[in-house]
Structure 1
Amino acid sequence: MSERMANTIPALLLRAAEDHAGRVAIEDGAVRIDYRDLPARALAVTRALMAAGIAHGDRVAIWAPNCHEWVLAALGVHCAGAVMVPINTRMKGAEAADVIGRSGARVLFVVGEFLGADYPAMLAPLRPDSLDRVVVLPDGTARGLRDGECAWAEFLASGAAVSEADALERARAVCPEDLSDLMFTSGTTGKPKGVMSTHGACVRAFSEYVRVIGLVAGDRYLIVNPFFHAFGYKAGWLTCLIGGATILPHPVFDAEVVFRRIEADRITVLPGPPTLYLSMLAHPRLAETDVTSLRIAVTGAATIPPVLVERMRRELGFSVVTTAYGLTECGGLATICDPTDDAETVAGTSGRAIPGTEVRIVDGDNRPLAAGEAGEICLRGFHVMKGYFGDAKATAETIDAEGWLHTGDVGTLDARGYLRITDRLKDMFIVGGFNCYPAEIEAALTEHPAIAQVAVIGLPDERMGEVGCACVVLRPGRQLDEAGLIAWSRERMANYKVPRFVRFLPALPVNASNKVMKNELRALAGAM
């Protein structure tokens, strides 16, 4: 079954099975799956999808925390030639239903219960008509199945009607130009947009990532970053398949639990946002915990102080500490620091462009700027998205006629070609590694009956990097307090989108065009 040219995810899976047979591919609690057995496990999902009528190009969604079934489901979708649609586990029912409906997903793999929430129940009253089947993953609870739901084991058993040979034929028919995933990322218009990425781009970009960070066969990668995000999916378990490392899924970050796993499971690779390492360094049990197995750390999402890089090397024992930059629209990776770079470079920049990628800085008229001049970061290369699903207008607004992806981020390139992120053209802010888009949050908050106007901004936070602050103008005669609005928000949106602070104002500051002046608002809110 060898496929020497691994330029699709199915081909990568088949090659890894041959090259790394005898090594553990996935270790999840008591579950151990050998690389040699991984294709058959993935193809079992493919067979069930084929039996359910899933054809090449159909969309299949996954709404679950990190677990081995997530990886098997995703690989099964890829081998079926279908397009995987990951859904953020922090989304509420309405948010997930919107993604499922607009993607046209026909099958959903979903966790039963997670963090006290019943995910199928949240979706049930809003279930889109396009969704033919809901497959509930085993989750260790006594939760029973409801009407319209199918158990994971039952779903796999239904694939007996399709031979493994037919499933393998389908997997080998997948081409590098075929869509691998449709990852929804929020935008300034307030609605998440589906980013179309291809197999060839994913494998090529993250093969380079494996080379740069020095991942080797036998490494043990604790994946704390969620699989629904490019950091946990492409820079996570897909990276493990490329390098022959062991995937150790971790569903929820907790410093003490992660510490125990590092020691007990001899973790060697632990990427994450800066907040992960800051939490570890601040943990009272750090001095008594054996973290000597740690070797590779990759971070991003925010500029970090050089002292953090030095402490990660000195106190956590990482020999490789690097930073990278990417966004969903470019597959998650565009630039990366070399691990041999000094602490100032790793902390203060996001590295240089990976091979096959161009980076340039432009002014407001789309003219390239010289080294050191700040402007919008633009990317061009093999990994730029095919576009936004079903949204030609938004695609044209983001990718120009010359193929440059306009990121909306502001930065500089130095004489060495290293990228430094300095600001954002858009109002996006980042909470613990998750992108937050004010327009989307504002649209949800304006549904509150007491709110006349609202503007959301990001405020600095030592632990999370930034947190949301809602600046609210109340309707005449209405009353609302901070705790009440935060509680209302928690019931309606993902936790990272929920404002941590609320400021009540008599009016929002606006310019002559009646646009809210968010810089002035940040200064005002920060001083209150």
Structure 2
Amino acid sequence: MTTTYLDLIHRGAGYYPDRTALVFGDQSLTFGETQSLSNRLAHALIERNVRRGDRVALLLNNGLYSVPVDFACVKAGVNRVPLNARLSLDEHRKMLEETGCALLLYGEDLAERAAQLCDAVSGLRAHGIGSAAGGGEDLLRACAALSDSKPAVPVAGDDVILTLFTSGTTGTLKASQHTQASYAAVCKNVLMNLLAVEQDDAMLHAASLIHASGVFVLPFWLRGARTVIMPAFDPDAFLTLIEKQRITTVNLVPTMLQMLLGHPRFATTDVSRLRQVIYGASPMPRPVIEQAMALWGREKFWQYYGQTECPLTLAVLRPEDHTEALLGACGKPSVEVEIRLVDDAGNDVAEGEAGEIAVRAPSMMAGYHNAPELNREMFMDGGWLRTRDVGRFDDNGFLHLKDRTSDMIITGGYNVYPREVEDVLSAHPAVAECAVIGRKDPQWVEAVTAVVVLKAGAWAEEDELIRFVADKVASYKKPRSVIFTDGIAKTAVGKLNRKALRDQFA
């Protein structure tokens, strides 16, 4: 029998109906209340002619109703298409048109954007969650009188229930499709490899729930533990909630941890109940993780490596492996994940050599939406999926990520992986943040170029930074020039957006 996402939602709700499941500010919902509300919302969707397999766009910031709405869509059998609220009107319009969504569910604070989208996209209907200002009805109000029984919508393991646009930096619009079975497998993957959730645990969510942070909700739901939600990341509020809500687990991207380290209360916040500081999404600068471990303890830090196409953990670096030699590693492959390193033709590279990471796992996507050519390019014989990441295994079986194939710089016939140079440059005492890109050059084809943000009150000359890198890596890897800037472009989930930087400084 195939376990589905819907199965796991119902199991968690039945185990602990009276325990607190969700906390948002001074509001909360029990497991039973969340189950009842999501059932009623599902009935409201069905009454409005939403059918199994329909694609429904979600325009919701983090809030108390993020999880009930998500669960309602799964119970109604629909295919959710989350829209990151930080994107532009034109980006949202393209996503809706690409996926053919006929219905948009929006949060109260995004009513204006919902109205704009209804004007911009022909045939689009909208309903609010706590508001009707953006068009349609307020489904929270409308569902109050409906049954809280489980909707009688049949599901199958291969039903697509999530179409998620990736934060990739290639400039190509692409959306990963996950099924009832693959999303359930994501939950198992997290519980087997990353989390050991106990009933009195609580996880604090400051990152958007539509991406990696949301993956952690279901494992906590199954164990009767709390999900504490912030509207957005704020370092002061984050540290306060760690103490107030007795938080045991947090998930951070590097930019968040850097901001926390700069807060005066980082070293004095009571983190005695905090067992796991999970980080991923993009490589963590070595000086940042070293300082954080020194203050909060190495035993708390867990790194995961994964992709939207195959979440969440392809490999995990456990606390005991956060050593000097392994801080740059992704970790060891997850229990149920197979990993190969291949060349351009899909053949295995020689042992010890770098190659493109190819994966096979139950949590893998079904494919990209409406992209047959891309699917043929990314899927290999035998069910293997290319990641476009370049990696290498060391003698002890740890996977080391070199870089994205699209980010690799070819200069004077040599391959340069930006991350290697960034790791060196970020250790300079005056550097707050940096990114390395290639710019067209008549002599070298591409010139290694560093984009640098200096720390407040600090100063460094271009020549000084170039010498700093040249002392630690091969000469061809050093930057040919340094661009000083006030900020570095990032994707919607906090990754360095090297494509945007290449375009900006072309």
TM-score by length of 2: 0.77
Equivalent position to 1:120, from 110, 114, 119:
114
Q: Is contact 2:59-2:106 (8 Å) kept?
A: yes
Corresponding residue for 1:445? none
Query: Counterpart of 2:300 in structure 1: which amino acid?
Result: V
Residues 411 and 217 of structure 1, relative CA distance in 2, 3 Å threshold: same
Corresponding residue for 2:39? 43
2:159 aligned with 1:178: yes
Instruction: Using the TM superposition, give the Cα deviation of residue 499 of structure 1 relative to its aligned residue in structure 2, in angstroms.
Output: 8.4
Q: Which ranges in structure 1 are unaligned for 5 or more consecutive residues?
A: 439-456, 464-481, 504-517
Residues 258 and 495 of structure 1, relative CA distance in 2, 3 Å threshold: closer
Equivalent position to 2:80, from 68, 72, 84:
84
Instruction: Using the TM superposition, give the Cα deviation of residue 179 of structure 1 relative to its aligned residue in structure 2, in angstroms.
Output: 1.6
Corresponding residue for 1:135? 127
2:386 aligned with 1:390: no
Residues 394 and 309 of structure 1, relative CA distance in 2, 3 Å threshold: same
Residues 51 and 156 of structure 1, relative CA distance in 2, 3 Å threshold: same
Residues 108 and 155 of structure 1, relative CA distance in 2, 3 Å threshold: farther
Instruction: Using the TM superposition, give the Cα deviation of residue 57 of structure 1 relative to its aligned residue in structure 2, in angstroms.
Output: 0.8
Let me know the Cα RMSD of the aligned residues: 3.6
CA distance in 2, matches of 1:118, 1:427: 37
**Counterpart mapping for 1:211-222 below 5 A:** 211=192, 212-222=194-204
Instruction: Using the TM superposition, give the Cα deviation of residue 51 of structure 1 relative to its aligned residue in structure 2, in angstroms.
Output: 0.4
Instruction: Using the TM superposition, give the Cα deviation of residue 42 of structure 1 relative to its aligned residue in structure 2, in angstroms.
Output: 1.0
Equivalent position to 2:233, from 238, 249, 253:
253
Instruction: Using the TM superposition, give the Cα deviation of residue 353 of structure 1 relative to its aligned residue in structure 2, in angstroms.
Output: 2.1
CA distance in 2, matches of 1:31, 1:334: 35
Equivalent position to 1:33, from 29, 36, 55:
29
Q: Is contact 1:62-1:108 (8 Å) kept?
A: yes
2:271 aligned with 1:291: yes
Instruction: Using the TM superposition, give the Cα deviation of residue 458 of structure 1 relative to its aligned residue in structure 2, in angstroms.
Output: 8.4
Instruction: Using the TM superposition, give the Cα deviation of residue 16 of structure 1 relative to its aligned residue in structure 2, in angstroms.
Output: 0.8
Residues 150 and 317 of structure 1, relative CA distance in 2, 3 Å threshold: farther
Identity %: 27
Corresponding residue for 2:467? none
2:106 aligned with 1:110: yes
Aligned to 1:423, the other structure's residue is in SS state strand
Corresponding residue for 1:243? 223
Q: Which ranges in structure 2 are unaligned for 5 or more consecutive residues?
A: 409-417, 423-434, 438-448, 456-482
Equivalent position to 1:379, from 340, 356, 359:
359
CA distance in 2, matches of 1:502, 1:207: 35
Query: Counterpart of 1:182 in structure 2: which amino acid?
Result: T
Residues 499 and 399 of structure 1, relative CA distance in 2, 3 Å threshold: closer
Q: Is contact 2:22-2:227 (8 Å) kept?
A: yes
The superposition leaves residues 287-321 of structure 1 with CA deviations (integer Å, 9 ceiling, x where unpaired) of 44333332111111333355644543442357431
Aligned to 1:207, the other structure's residue is in SS state helix
The superposition leaves residues 349-398 of structure 1 with CA deviations (integer Å, 9 ceiling, x where unpaired) of 11222233211111233221234311211111222211111111111111
CA distance in 2, matches of 1:313, 1:497: 22
Residues 381 and 287 of structure 1, relative CA distance in 2, 3 Å threshold: closer
CA distance in 1, matches of 2:137, 2:239: 36
Q: Is contact 2:267-2:296 (8 Å) kept?
A: no
Corresponding residue for 1:369? 349
CA distance in 2, matches of 1:266, 1:328: 30
CA distance in 1, matches of 2:11, 2:492: 38
2:29 aligned with 1:10: no
Greater shift after overlay, 105-114 or 250-259? Answer: 105-114
Corresponding residue for 2:136? 149
CA distance in 2, matches of 1:284, 1:126: 46
CA distance in 2, matches of 1:338, 1:82: 36
Query: Counterpart of 1:263 in structure 2: which amino acid?
Result: E
Greater shift after overlay, 334-343 or 186-195? Answer: 186-195
Instruction: Using the TM superposition, give the Cα deviation of residue 271 of structure 1 relative to its aligned residue in structure 2, in angstroms.
Output: 0.9
The superposition leaves residues 332-359 of structure 1 with CA deviations (integer Å, 9 ceiling, x where unpaired) of 3322223432434662211222233211
2:417 aligned with 1:421: no
CA distance in 2, matches of 1:169, 1:72: 18
Q: Is contact 1:195-1:387 (8 Å) kept?
A: yes
Query: Counterpart of 1:332 in structure 2: which amino acid?
Result: L
Instruction: Using the TM superposition, give the Cα deviation of residue 61 of structure 1 relative to its aligned residue in structure 2, in angstroms.
Output: 1.5
Aligned to 1:340, the other structure's residue is in SS state helix
The superposition leaves residues 212-264 of structure 1 with CA deviations (integer Å, 9 ceiling, x where unpaired) of 332222211111121121x1221x32232233321111121111111121122
CA distance in 2, matches of 1:198, 1:501: 30
**Counterpart mapping for 1:197-212 below 5 A:** 197-211=178-192, 212=194
CA distance in 1, matches of 2:45, 2:83: 19
CA distance in 2, matches of 1:51, 1:282: 50
Query: Counterpart of 2:61 in structure 1: which amino acid?
Result: P
Equivalent position to 2:281, from 301, 306, 328:
301
Q: Is contact 1:335-1:351 (8 Å) kept?
A: yes
Corresponding residue for 1:57? 53
Query: Counterpart of 1:222 in structure 2: which amino acid?
Result: L
Q: Is contact 1:296-1:318 (8 Å) kept?
A: no
Residues 89 and 189 of structure 1, relative CA distance in 2, 3 Å threshold: same
2:171 aligned with 1:190: yes
Corresponding residue for 2:441? none
CA distance in 2, matches of 1:288, 1:151: 44
Equivalent position to 1:75, from 59, 68, 71:
71
Aligned to 2:91, the other structure's residue is in SS state helix
Corresponding residue for 1:515? none
Query: Counterpart of 2:230 in structure 1: which amino acid?
Result: H
Corresponding residue for 1:476? none
Corresponding residue for 1:168? 151
Residues 323 and 90 of structure 1, relative CA distance in 2, 3 Å threshold: same
Residues 332 and 31 of structure 1, relative CA distance in 2, 3 Å threshold: same
Corresponding residue for 1:340? 320
Q: Is contact 1:6-1:12 (8 Å) kept?
A: no
Q: Is contact 2:281-2:305 (8 Å) kept?
A: yes
